Structure 1
């Protein structure tokens, strides 16, 4: 978590951030020059604003060393490039959160490390699926369809679920699933050991690799070569199987891989 000293520094720097973000013109100018330098005509064409307005914004950005004029073109300084790159990340994070705000707002995020929450923009292409009163198994069935098409699965499993284990065992037996890596708590591991079928088909299976961690797991993450899925717990501590976040692009899968690495460190 952010410490007290860091919070003070953030508060002090907020005025500078506010200066950029509260001005549509200053923000748009930085974004317009992010990929390459541009002259006044190009900026006027991009932003659809009069020259006087654009020149005023350019002067303001020059004064705080975020852009510079080189001959007839304007370009970002190194500081300007760094700030704009992080501004883009902030915008993408906001978009990713807002797109699936019901999913994020309904759940406990304690199982996701702070560093991974800061990379939530990687899930901007993901969408959440929810079960309904007419189809209570919609989220679960969507999950089963996903894992049934994957030859390799990596799973962080926070609960002991016979339903999930039976589906995984069937995929392993049918040789549809060639490799399975599980991260579970010691509590879940002990319960698997007590079930002879699960012990044989999971713990003694050469296709399966299991890692145990001491602390309670609070995320249900699954990913394969072509997808990732995430389910979470309600804020009251109960597991929610009615909503699932699914991403199928490389950024979403990369986010899942990074989250798994965080858990492997434990």
Structure 2
């Protein structure tokens, strides 16, 4: 049944998508007009194609009822605007998949919910930071650089790293609010290795909120008001600390905040009493 629906959708959309995507000049004109109505010279400055190509494709778009001319400004019809946005979303999604293929091909993406996979184009201005023999700490050092100056921090993690605890302690000492969704193992490591007096003070002051995620976390990421950093597990079940998707783009950050909210809604808040019990139990 699902296959039949997809076939029907494909046949319905094929001609329209082909019309938009078959000509690079046509696609550029539509992308330009998605921003706002424009004059001929403004479109020409955007699309950078020959005059004959611009004239012929504008005329074709007008003949097809996709573009209107009012005064000296061209604009998309509502239907073409919707189709153009959909085509641009598809185009950006393919670019994200191809541009970050070294992590998508052999890593577990089950930690990313369906609705965010459908908006993977929001990561269009992201970069895959990869360690190399000459710079094995590149992902970690890039993380340290980008997180600097953040005024609020959210994180989800099933792994523990002593240096990350030190980074977060520095932010807590400065009064920067931090909220974390962690697995049981990481919570124990945090209680054992972090300054418990700092944890206690930060929780009392509501600068630190710790939430417990029951079950397997298949993703690790940090999102702040400055950047997004996202890491995945490989197909063998090991976290790949040598590759991180990172971005300072506003849309990528918003995507990361949506991802965080997904995990926040599925976790439980831990208070100071809970963390004290964990500290006492690990000390036995």
TM range (shorter): 0.7 to 0.9
The 1:127–1:54 alpha-carbon spacing in structure 2 relative to 1, beyond 3 Å, is closer
**Counterpart Cα distance in 1 of 2:261 and 2:87:** 27
1:163 to partner: Cα distance: 2.1
Q: CA deviation at 1:21?
A: 0.8
Query: Is 2:72 the partner of 1:77?
Result: no
For the structure 1 residues 69 and 230, does the alpha-carbon distance in structure 2 shift closer, same or farther, using more than 3 Å as the test?
same
1:1-266 correspondence runs (5 A): 3-4=2-3, 6-12=5-11, 13-38=13-38, 47-51=48-52, 53-54=53-54, 56-70=56-70, 74-147=74-147, 149-159=149-159, 161-164=160-163, 166-168=165-167, 170-171=169-170, 175-176=173-174, 178-186=176-184, 188-189=186-187, 191-192=188-189, 196-197=192-193, 200=196, 204=200, 205-206=202-203, 207-266=207-266
Specify whether residues 20 and 209 from structure 1 end up closer, same or farther in structure 2 by C-alpha distance, changes over 3 A only.
same
CA distances 1:6-65 after superposition (whole Å, capped 9, x unpaired): 5234322233212321122432332343334456666567554344x5554345434543
Is the CA contact 2:158–2:185 (under 8 Å) kept in the aligned structure 1?
no
- For residues 105 and 18 of structure 2, what CA distance do their matches in structure 1 show? 26
Q: CA deviation at 1:85?
A: 2.3
Q: Are the equivalent residues in 2 in contact too, given 1:152–1:177 (CA < 8 A)?
A: no
Could you give the per-residue CA deviations for residues 167-219 of structure 1, whole angstroms, max 9, x where no partner exists? 2564267x146322111235644x448x6455946874513212223342222
Alpha carbon RMSD of aligned pairs, Å?
A: 3.3
Post-superposition offset of 1:110? 1.7
Structure 1 residues not aligned, in runs of 5+ = none
Q: TM-score, normalised by structure 1?
A: 0.78
* 2: CA distance, partners of 1:133 / 1:4: 46
Tell me if structure 2 keeps the 8 A contact 1:202–1:208: no
The alignment covers a number of residue pairs equal to: 259
Cα 1:37–1:66, aligned 2, differ >3 Å: closer, same or farther?
same
Verify the 8 A CA contact 2:17 2:87 in the aligned structure 1.
no
Secondary structure class of the residue paired with 2:68:
strand
- Maintained 8 Å contact 1:169/1:202: no
Residue segments in structure 2 that go unaligned for 5+ positions in a row:
267-284
Displacement of 1:78 after TM fit?
0.4
- Residue 246 (structure 1) shift: 2.0
- 1:72-129 deviation line (CA, Å, top 9, x unaligned): 6542110111122233333333334433332333422221123223333333333222
Change (3 A) 1:225 1:22: same
